[in-house]
Structure 1
Amino acid sequence: MHESRGEKIFGSAITAILLLLSFIALIPILSVLSTSFSSRRVVDLNLVTIWPKEFTLASWNYMVFRPELWKSFFLTLGSTVIGTMLALLITALLAYPLSKSEFRWGPVIMVGAVVAMIFKAPIVPYFLTVRGIGLYNNLLVLIVPHILNPFNLIIMRTFFKQFSKELEEAAFMEGCGYFRMLFQFVLPLSKAVLATLALFYGVVIWNQFQHPLMFLQDPGLFPLQIKIRQFITDDNVLIPGAISNANMAYNERTLRAVTVIFAMIPIVTVYPFLQKYFVKGAMIGSVKG
């Protein structure tokens, strides 16, 4: 389809604006990244902007060989992978029957999901409930509270409603049950929404801060975000007994920059592989009735 001159100008203007906004959004990240690769001297003098000065890997060499950082990383990675897979399974098992008009309790459950999405539980009763079921100082608190999100449930339910009833009826006539229909036919055709919700669930679990802060007291159970907070707020944890050593090629600012970038790398790495499904899944799940 041939574009008019006005449409080309409009498209170019939108592209330029989006590129400018993207660059503005990247400035803080570039600043932190540059700090992590700069020497202590230039950082102390506030000479670093968005490009490293006196390039050095000293801060990275110091941080990546800290066992407590890797322990927190693998705790977070494991909880994110397991939690995301479990969340997708639970969401699919609930969304599929809710997408069927013959399921008479569907409207009632959907009203409950919308209410749960709008009205959050008060902190104190929520804390007492979670502690009462044995999740206090338990690694499962990183997973269990996140295995079902009402908003994601609505998206997957709406996505499932698009499937052809004739195809399902034909499969049922061949002896296919609901579970087999879901796992052998519906889910393999739902890669777009599964990838989209995997990203939603994964980002929430990876970046969670409030739950581990409330329910985990053992430093050995701290996930990556809490460990980073510990590094940022406690200089003695970051550089034990060595803050005043002027011979070091790094300081607390460069090391904190490393931990922030370190925590971002996995999500930034995974996102490009899910991007092609992201818009399609979100749009279909949100727009179709």
Structure 2
Amino acid sequence: MVMAQYKESFGDTLFRYLTMIVLGLLSLLMLMPFAKVLATSFSGPNPVDAGKVFFWPVQFNLESWFYVLKQAPLWHSFLLTVFATVAGTFLCLLVTALMAYPLAKSEFKLAKIILFMVVMTMIFRYPIIPYFLSLRSYGLYNSIWVLIIPHTISAFNLIIMRTFFRGMPKELEEAAQMEGCGYFGLLFRIVLPSSKAVLATLGIFYAVGIWNQFMTPLMFIEDQALYPLQLKLREYIIYTDMATEGLKVELPYNNTTLQSTTIIFATIPILLVYPFLQKHFVKGALLGSVK
């Protein structure tokens, strides 16, 4: 039996095309600031000062990039942030999975109470001063681990992963249990390998949060050798006047082009990760939110 082919009505077609146009325009609007900063980083100083650079480089040159890429402290902060992001994302996913899996089990009697406490942390935020004093008492002041440990688990991400785990077929786990697989074996050999979508989604959430963190290192890190990329970026944006101070010759870059180059330098690495995880990201976000 051949099923009748669905014919889209004129109203549905019009709505679909209008939605695509609106979303496309919004996407272009969001990309405009990034395009302007990118064009400025590849432009000469004179057209930038004259306000002639918008979305395409004017008097194209790479001198700003050569100057920024030769800064050893910036590379040190970059590598430190990469370490914090990779190690922190792995630790966050591990801890979130270890907590979400038992909360997804109906036989776990305390699941509802613990989940209620988790939701309460989303409603009532911690006071800043007790938070600062607590982390300092744990020895995290002026420590690289302050970039990782405070972000180990997110209530929002925990709920998404728990919801995803609850939607997995019970028959799969029952079959593994009949073969003698325990709860840890179920989690690491059955559940997590089947959860690439939600792991990719939450991995992006955690990675972006750790990569872009600013307030935590600002409060807890005083040693400039431990500055993550965002704090180092702040230094370059505020103090780039020192790059040209006291020089009488005309340089092929200025403060604005150096600042734009540093911003792009700090933004591109995290953007490059998304295309590789896009298909898992969309699927994981939908499955973890609507089931």
**Quick one: which amino acid aligns to residue 7 of structure 2?**
H
2: CA distance, partners of 1:190 / 1:85: 15
- When normalised by structure 2's length, the TM-score is 0.95
Matched, 1:248 2:251: yes
**Aligned residue in 1 for 2:270:** 267
Cα RMSD (Å): 1.2
Preserved CA contact (<8 Å) 2:240 2:259: no
The answer for the alignment partner of 1:178 in structure 2 is 183
Distance between the aligned counterparts of 1:11 and 1:173, measured in 2?
Answer: 49
Counting matched residue pairs gives 286
Q: 2 CA distance for matches of 1:31 and 1:164?
A: 48
Runs of 4+ in 1 over 3 A off after TM superposition: 241-246
What TM-score, normalized to structure 1? 0.96
Match of 1:87? Answer: 92
1:222 aligns with 227
Which residue of structure 2 lines up, in the alignment, with residue 137 of structure 1? 142
User: Could you list the runs of 5+ residues in structure 1 that have no partner in the other structure?
Assistant: none
1:243 Cα shift? 6.1
Distance 1:86 1:27 in 2: 35
Paired letter, 1:173 = M
The amino acid that maps onto 2:61 is T
TM-superposed deviation, 1:65 = 1.2
Deviations for 1:78-113, whole angstroms, at most 9, x for unmatched residues? 100000000000000110011001111111110111
Contact 1:243 1:251 (C-alpha < 8 Å) held by counterparts: no
**2:35 — aligned with what?**
30
Q: Report the residue type matching 1:83 in the other structure.
A: G
Residues in 1 aligned to 2:34 and 2:102: alpha-carbon distance in whole angstroms: 43
Whole-Å Cα distance in 2 between the matches of residues 245 and 152 of structure 1?
54
- In the alignment, the residues of structure 1 paired with residue 30 and residue 104 of structure 2 have an alpha-carbon distance, to the nearest angstrom, of 38
Question: Distance in 1 between the 2:152 and 2:246 partners?
Answer: 42
Any residues of structure 2 matched to 1:83-162 within 5 Å, and which? Answer: 83-162=88-167
Give runs of aligned pairs for residues 35-114 of structure 1, distance below 5 A.
35-114=40-119
The answer to whether the 8 A contact 1:87-1:148 is kept is: yes
> Once the two structures are superposed, what CA deviation does each residue of 1:34-75 show, in whole Å capped at 9, x if it has no partner?
110000111111111111100000100110111111100000
In structure 2, runs of 5+ residues without a counterpart are 1-5
Report the Cα distance in structure 2 between the residues aligned to 1:221 and 1:125, rounded to whole angstroms: 23
| Code of the aligned partner of 1:252 | N
